[in-house]
Amino acid sequence: MLTVRSDESVESPERVIAGILEGVRHLLPEQAPLHAFVHHNPLHAFEHLPFERAVVEAASIFGTEPFQSEQAFAHSLEIGRIRESDVESVVDDDLGPEPGPAICGLQRREFILGRLLHPFEVPIGATLLWQLVETPAQRAIHPLVHSARRRTLLHHAEARYGSLSQSTLETLLMTELWQRMKEVASPVEEQPHRPRPRDRIRDALGIDPDTWVHPLLIRLCAAFLDQGVAYWTMARREEGILRAFRRLYGLPVGPPDRWMNGLAGECRRQQREAWTAESTIVWALVALEVPPKDWPIVIRDTLLSLRGWAGMMSQFEQHPQRAPVVAHPARLADYLAVQMTLDVFASRHALCSATSEQGSLLELRPQTTPPPRDLELVYEAFVAAQLLPVEPAAFEDSAHARSWLTAIAEFDGLARRRLLHRAYERSYRVRVLDGMQAHERLDRRQLPSPEFQAVFCIDERSESLRRHLEEICTVAETFGYAGFFGVAMAYQGLDDIHPRPLCPVALSPRHQIVERAIEKEEESSYRNLRRRHGTLRHALGVGSKSLARGGILTAVTGLMSVVPLIGRCLFPALTERWSQRLDQGAVTGPATRLEIERSGPLTCEDGGDLLRGYTVLEMAGIVETALLTMGIAGACAPLVLIVGHGSSSLNNPHEAAHDCGATGGGRGGPNARAFAAMGNHPGVRHALAGRGINLPKNSWFVGAYHNTCDDSVRYYDDDLVPAAAREHFELAVRSMRAACALDAHERCRRFGTSPRDLDIGKAIAHVKAHSTDLAQPRPEYGHATNASCIVGRRSRTRGLFLDRRPFLVSYDPTTDPSGEGLATLLLSVGPVGAGINLEYYFSFVDPVGYGCGTKLPHNIVGLIGVMDGHASDLRTGLPWQMVEIHEPMRLLMIVEAAADTLERILEAHEGLDQLVRNEWIQLVSWSPDSPAMHVFANGAFIPYVPESTAIPILDRSPAFYSGHHEHLGLAHLTAAFGGAPA
Amino acid sequence: MNVASLNPPLLALIVLPAAAFFALAIPAWLGRRVDERAINAIVGAAFAASALAAVALISGMLAIGADRVVLPLGTWFETDSYRFTWTLVADHLSVPFALLSTVLVGLVGAFSRRYMHLERGYRRFYLLLALFGAGVEVVVLAGTLDMLFFGWEIVGLASALLIAFFNERVNPVEHGLRAFVTYRICDVGLLAAAVSLHHAVGSSDIAAPSPGSGDWGGFSCPNDPIQATAIGLLLLWASIGKSAQLPFGGWLPRAMEGPTPSSAIFYGAISIHLGAYLLLRAAPLLEQAPIAAAAVCTIGALTALHATFVGRVQSDIKSALAYASMTQVGLIFVEIGLGFRYLAIVHIVGHAAVRSLQILRSPSLLHDHHHLEQAMGQQLPKTGGHLERLVPAAMQPWLYRHALERGYFDAALLDFAARGFVRLFLALDRYDRAWSDLLTSAPRPPRLRQIRDAQESQ
């Protein structure tokens, strides 16, 4: 039996365990509850390492994939997504000027290129054994060997064995080659040390104690963190999960499960003696006979075994304000104490039931032997020797054969995928940079001065909308600015029950803005009606799940559900329209305004730390920064639209992931509305004039909200637009309507269920149906197309088809000689863009390990996350349906600034420098005065030499994308310049 | 119009879903690719047509005032003392069920066209859905208990395979197996009931309703009350598996592993109510066997009580809905036991509609919760207050843990009821291995060394 020595005192267990936990905590998923989803780099904890090392290291800890599979890269090679020239270029860069010695007479470069360009599958484990025994795999030439090489091989065989039949020669040669490879193979290496008791028990006894512990732990965590699914909640959650666990499972007469024998007594003892979580953990580690040197790894692996739940505990502990309803006092240490206590009992039970005699964990030795990995290596070397142009005679010497095997082993799958990944990125980079330069070299007609300007979020989903707007209306000018528009506020709309921050997660808002009805009576009647509707719906929802009320409801009125059931299945869009009418149709919201100005002194509401509204000076500062950065300040049009964005959809637990990242996963409409109100404020105008920014007297700002899922636009406070700007406003609204239809049309080309020849006029109805359909797992593709980020003047990219792939950030280098403005911009755009980009990268390369798998069986738990079906770990990351069209590449960040300016900025800002130097993003400097570009590589900017100057020239975007489902390259569109010939 | 004119729609109800199944199965068997559109057209057309057939059947029966249409389809096999006949019966009980199931399967088929788009198992899903649809129609329209058993097995198989739909993960497969084993254990009851019926009254046919015993016929009732009770209890045993009643209900929340639409149709709407259907079919017999009827009531009441407590502490939406279903099916059992047959039918139809819609909507829970909060202008009111008032404070932790641990049925089942079997099987496995190792003198699975040896000996 295990020995329990709880009296064995360890010096200050609190400190030891707390220290270990702090070291391990950052490995857990840092995903907030789903309603507050914010994209982040899943490997944030590894950002101090270079990307390529970090992904491999993380893969070994988490058991995940670092890159796409070799098979996926092979497919990319096949379809030309990776070109041979890309592979050659990255190999040359990797080898450097001295490529190292030849391998069996083959130049190292040839060897590496051959391995990369001629991928073949190496069967593993039992599949390989089967092939070797049941197929002529080791006696015949591999089917991928092309005919010329085959002839060479047979020719060599003939020279060696004399003239025999072809098949005999083949068998003889291959058998000898196989034997040779096998002779020189070294024995299988030892498996790595796995100190976690559960792993050792599983390896030795074939019993997995986690199958007992996990279901219970999941039930407990879900009940403890639940935000409102359960009708009857766990009592006294404010005392923490450890005490709740001890109280429930310490009741006299424990659960009858055999593995929990004695648990009740132990819980009572711990409770009676008031053990802290940390001392409980120490007790469990001692009871599990874990030597102190292994404690950190055991704790890490224990937490990672149910990482989603552990991570959520840690999130509740660190960011209680993100809890959807109530933040129960969660502590990672409490959670671990529960898990390890259960581990002790499960491990004891496993030992008892498997070994009749009393055993110790320390004596466990794995029964299963590691898989014959060296046989896989032999096979790989065997096939590679046939495929690569190496002299067959070389292998007759066993020293040569050994060096071949070593070379094959060193250039393993991981090394190949690393290079192929670089080639994959390079191919896109070259296409984008060439396209941008070619576009600039074309003549572009001078445009008339704009009648209206529209400012969008930098989000890559705005790219198509902006492009269409410019194509429709040559007198429109567009800009990209982080979608909170500098208004970092806590916002409470008329319907909201509490304020929520609408600003990047890195900021914490200091100002609160409230939406109020203009007419107070309207507001109260609106609220009352809504409340009555809500109360009824709530009562029905709760009642239908209960016994008596449910019986009456389902038996008496249940049949009425047939109508919505048929509607939802057959006519989703119509049904949603009707259900919204029934819900709120009787009551339209009252007209409202934002309470934006703080007139009183610097007082805080309710003793909180939020200031009500902004002062005129604060507002002027926000407007000034935005206008200067974008370059609007000196050239303001009569009407400026400020367009925030968000997304609303059904059947989508990850709805918030489609909202605006710059507002911290919120919807940016109120920010746009607030910014417009600030810009129109006479006091602000006056203050701006004092700072040298003279906006035209008649100019006007209008805030708007773009729903990226159904491509609808809502305009705020349009009743205030003065007569002078009215005409421009109407032009803007008309153009936006047409642009949204085209935007919807362009998005539809990606949906597999949309017709290939969809009419532009029907596109809006089509995307609307997508957003309101209970059966639609792909309401929109979100950021799935993100790949790059262009920081610079729009005038240089106007009329360029960029396929909704770059974040477009407006920046005018001519007004920012010092580069200070750019530094501020990059400090927010860099990490945010990289966060989104890397979240997609990892969810795509390992949809199960980093992503949350297919969403079809997802089951919402506790209003905080999703599980796979019944009682699984909490699944973090993005669902496959959201990322399936993504191309996993690091963000290609092209900045309109001289290379030395960028170098200066990097030197001054450590965080940004780390992202760039460790190659988590690819940085390109784009000269403000010429098309010249410099690519950052190996710590320096290197001039970029374009490979091609060709670019397709078309009239409008639809002519380019229509009928295509796949990613497209760049194109020059003349309509954006009024149809000027290029 | 005569009764014979109703035979084609009656036959179509079974033939069309079965045809859809074969239309998908044969290309799959031959390894042909079929695109999503075609799959959908096949299943959609079959179920739309069979829904129309059901409507035609009902209107025809109403038009000519026929209470009962019997369509003998022939004999599968016969011996001196036994004959397996295929007969379809449409009456007041089977027709509403036939319509309900074909409409719901059709609706879920239409729903899944978008939901399952691009999923690798698209065809498999529709194949199993069509198989399930066909199986349900066989159960519902069967004219003998023997034929019903045939459909019953098909439904069970389709159900287990759809739970295990995502077969690259362990849990779905384990839980599919769990459901399958539960079904098989309870199938014993159905088989024994059929055999006993043949033994006692010589036939398991669904007889014409005898005057005064209700509007539809059941199985012929043996005169011996003990036999009647025994058969009634065997039918109850058969129905508690499919309808997830105590003590076998543990598989139901675990069955929520498949794609959401299949969970909705099986465990919110149709499969879960088949046990109740069987008991309704046996209602005339239960009337003659008060002890069996009382057992139906007791099981139903205990399940309803158990499930309502357990359901109330579930913090994931699909488990909460699974236990809510179990609660209502328990109530329906009580209604059947008490003889409220039409109430039970109305309850089943209403419950199926409500629950399947709720399960289909479950992925939108966060969206709905947010909007509900906004509408009410406050955090949603705390629930469970009256439970806390009713249950004495000292008992509350006990009850809570009882509910959280789902009444300890899993422990009872795995650690006690199944333990002996598992040990036996493990021991047999050990002996088998030892014996085969002895015979083949291969103490270990082949490794590099053995393969090398094998090659050298070639």
DSSP A460-510: THHHHHHHHHHHH-TTEEEEE--TTTT--EEEE-SS-SS-EEES-TTS---
- Å between A793 CA and nearest CA of chain B: 38
The pLDDT, as a whole number, for residue A86 is 95
Summarize the confidence of residues A295-316 as an average pLDDT: 95
Q: Give the pLDDT score at A209.
A: 93
Please give the residue of chain A at the shortest CA–CA distance from B321.
Answer: A545
Query: How many angstroms separate the CA of residue A408 from the nearest CA in chain B?
Result: 19
Residue-wise pLDDT for A884-927, tens only, equals 999 999 999 999 999 999 999 999 999 999 999 999 999 999 99
DSSP-H helix ranges across A853-946: 880-883, 899-908, 910-917
Question: According to the per-residue pLDDT averaged within each range, which of A597-601, A794-798, B426-430 is highest?
Answer: A794-798
- What's the token pair of residue A879? 């669902």
Q: Average per-residue pLDDT in chain A?
A: 90
Say yes or no for a CB contact (<8 Å) between A538 and B380.
Answer: yes
Best of A128, A178, A231 to disrupt the B interface by mutation (most B CBs within 10 Å)? A231
CB contact under 8 A, A869 and B171: yes
Range among A177-186, A215-224, A361-370 rated most confident: A215-224
pLDDT band at A390 (very low <50, low <70, confident <90, very high): confident
Using an 8 Å CB-CB cutoff, list chain A residues near B311. Answer: 231, 545
Could you give the percent of chain A with pLDDT greater than 90? 64
Q: Give the pLDDT of residue A4.
A: 41
Alpha carbon of B255: minimum distance to chain A alpha carbons (Å): 8
What is the average pLDDT across B8-17?
94
Residue A672 CA to residue A649 CA, distance in Å, equals 21
What pLDDT sits at residue B455?
A: 47
* pLDDT tens-digit series, residues A188-210: 666 677 889 998 888 888 889 99
Put simply, whether B417 touches A (Cβ < 8 Å) is no
Chain B residues in contact with A220 (beta carbon < 8 A): 404
Question: pLDDT tens digit string along A258-270?
Answer: 899 899 999 999 9
Q: Which residues of B touch A535 (CB under 8 A)?
A: 376
Please state, in angstroms and rounded to a whole number, the distance separating the CA atoms of residues A883 and A299. 32
Interchain proximity B166–A857, CB inside 8 Å: yes
Q: How far is A851 from chain B (nearest CA, A)?
A: 15
The DSSP element (H or E) to which B172 belongs, if any, is helix B170-201
CA distance B341 to B347: 10
pLDDT at residue number A608: 62
- Stretch B55-66: mean pLDDT: 91
User: What's the pLDDT at A907?
Assistant: 94
Among candidates A231, A527, A584 on the partner chain, residue whose Cβ is nearest the Cβ of B312: A231
Q: State yes or no: pLDDT of A217 exceeds 80.
A: yes
A142-151, A307-316, B83-92: which has the highest mean pLDDT? A307-316
Asked if the model's pLDDT at residue B183 lies above 70, the reply is yes
pLDDT number for residue A373: 53
pLDDT band at B451 (very low <50, low <70, confident <90, very high): very low
Are residues A863 and B405, on separate chains, in Cβ contact within 8 Å?
no
- pLDDT computed for residue B187 by the predictor: 94
Give the predicted TM-score (pTM) of the model: 0.93
Chain B from 5 to 24: CB within 8 A of any A CB: none
Q: What is the ipTM of this complex?
A: 0.91
B166 and A CB contact within 8 Å? yes
Chain B residues lying within 8 Å of A653, measured CB to CB: 363, 365-366
> Higher model confidence: residue A79 or residue A203?
A79
pLDDT at A3: 39
- The answer, yes or no, to whether residue B448 has pLDDT greater than 50, is no
Judged by phi (left if over 0) then psi (alpha if -120 to 50, else beta), residue A197 lies in: alpha
Q: Which residue in A960, A952, A927 sits closest to A941, CA to CA?
A: A927
Chain A touched by B76 (CB under 8 Å): no
- Supply the pLDDT for residue A582: 77
- Average pLDDT (A761-765) is 92
The pLDDT tens digits of the residues spanning A952-963 come to 999 999 999 998
Residue-averaged pLDDT of chain B: 89
pLDDT tens digits for A120-147? 988 888 888 888 888 888 888 999 998 9
Q: Residue A237 and residue A862: Cα distance in Å, rounded?
A: 14
Across the range A788-804, mean pLDDT stands at: 94
CB A421 within 8 A of CB A67: yes
| Mean pLDDT for the stretch of residues A291-319 | 94
Q: Which of B165, B354, B397 sits opposite A248 (nearest CB)?
A: B397
pLDDT in tens, A516-529: 999 888 888 888 88
> Mean pLDDT throughout A21-37?
92
pLDDT at site B446: 42
Taking residues B246-262, report their average pLDDT: 91
Q: What's the rounded Cα separation, in Å, for the pair A744 and A397? A: 65
Per-residue pLDDT for B321 more than 70?
Answer: yes
- Give the closest-approach CA distance of B122 to chain A in angstroms: 12
The mean-pLDDT minimum among A93-102, A223-232, A293-302, A617-626 falls in A93-102
Both tokens assigned to A385:
């020797």
Query: In chain A, whose CA is at the least distance from the CA of B304?
Result: A547
Please, which residues have CB within 8 angstroms of residue A495's CB and are 6 or more apart in sequence?
A530, A589, B374, B375, B377
Question: Is residue B453 scored above 70 in pLDDT?
Answer: no
Rounded to the nearest angstrom, the gap between the alpha carbon of residue B137 and the centroid of all alpha carbons in its chain is 12
Q: Is residue A172's pLDDT more than 60? A: yes
Chain B residues lying within 8 Å of A784, measured CB to CB = none
Q: CA-CA distance, A103 to A110, in Å (whole number)?
A: 10
Q: Which member of A535, A564, A775 has the closest CB to residue B114?
A: A775
A397: Cβ contacts below 8 Å, ≥ 6 apart: none
Confidence of residue B377 (pLDDT cuts 50, 70, 90): confident
What pLDDT shows up at residue A682? 94
Residues of A in contact with B366 (CB under 8 A): 34-35, 653, 655, 860, 863
Å from A368 to nearest chain B CA?
10
Q: What tens digit of pLDDT does each residue of A149-168 get?
A: 999 999 888 888 888 888 88
B33 burial (CB, 10 Å; 0-12 / 13-18 / 19+) is exposed
Closest chain A residue by Cα to residue B329: A551
Do the chains contact at B113 and A773, CB–CB below 8 Å? no
Kindly indicate the confidence band of residue A369, based on its pLDDT and cuts at 50, 70 and 90: low
Per-residue pLDDT band for A5 (boundaries 50, 70, 90) equals: very low
- Given the DSSP bridges, would you call strands A865-868 and A874-875 parallel, antiparallel or unpaired? antiparallel
Task: Determine contact: B443 vs chain A, CB below 8 A.
Answer: no
Check A230 against B377: CB less than 8 A apart. Answer: no
- The encoded tokens of residue B53 equal 């057939």
CA distance A590 to chain B (A): 14
pLDDT at residue A370 tops 70:
no
Pairing state between β A858-861 and A865-868:
antiparallel
Lowest mean pLDDT among A399-403, A460-464, B177-181, B237-241: A399-403
Please give, rounded to a whole number of angstroms, the shortest distance from the CA of B266 to a CA of chain A: 14
Tell which residue, A332, A309, A459, A423, has the closest CA to residue A871: A309
